[in-house]
Amino acid sequence: MSSKNLIEEWRNRKERTKKEHQKFLKKLRQQKGKRLDELAEKTHEAVFKKVDCLDCANCCTSIPPIVNKTDATRIAKTLGMKSADFQQQYLLQDEDGDWVMNSSPCPFLQEDHKCLIYEDRPRACRQYPHTNYYEFSKHLNLHAQNISYCPAVFHIVERLMRQV
């Protein structure tokens, strides 16, 4: 199936399968550990070979990423701005006290879905959707939420359901 079809499948099925997926992720709490993280890592690699983020960009469109101090300094430098000016123009503090991008879609998302600051993007953008780095089992609650935003997470969970 092509990347676009996989994304379309997510759009069509994510609501109908939500309860089933959440039940499965809840069940995985009892199976936390190395074996699950190894399987999730392989599944992450396989799914991201099929799903092309440039066909999607839903995270950049709908979830303002956390921008920590190191990120802000690096991005400001790339843009030739002072950190304080960058903060004022692009960031706001959310209810948890974290600094995040101040608009959705992200101000650095371009029409072709490429990121204007890709090489220097925030750490949160690099790590999203937290399904690899052998850390899948640490973020089960997050995956349950991200299924609604990220087609790759949806397909990773679908594949894991057939294997676990």
Q: Which residues bind ligand SF4 (CB under 6 A)?
A: 51, 53, 56-60, 65, 106, 108-109, 115, 117, 121-122, 125, 128-129, 149-152
- Least Å from the CB of residue 36 to ligand SF4: 20
Complete DSSP assignment for 65-107: PB--HHHHHHHHHHHT--HHHHHHHHEEE-TTS-EEESSSS-T
Q: Which residue number, 24 or 128, has a Cβ lying nearer to ligand SF4? A: 128
Distance CA 127, CA 124 (A): 5
Helix (H/G/I), strand (E/B), else coil: 116: coil
- Least Å from the CB of residue 72 to ligand SF4: 12
Helix (H/G/I), strand (E/B), else coil: 115: strand
Q: Which residue number, 24 or 149, has a Cβ lying nearer to ligand SF4? A: 149
- Least Å from the CB of residue 80 to ligand SF4: 17
Q: Which residue number, 35 or 135, has a Cβ lying nearer to ligand SF4? A: 135
Q: Which residue number, 31 or 125, has a Cβ lying nearer to ligand SF4? A: 125
Nearest Cα to 143, choosing from 130, 155, 133? 130
Distance CA 82, CA 17 (A): 46
- Least Å from the CB of residue 106 to ligand SF4: 3
Helix (H/G/I), strand (E/B), else coil: 164: coil
Q: Which residue number, 30 or 119, has a Cβ lying nearer to ligand SF4? A: 119
- Least Å from the CB of residue 30 to ligand SF4: 27
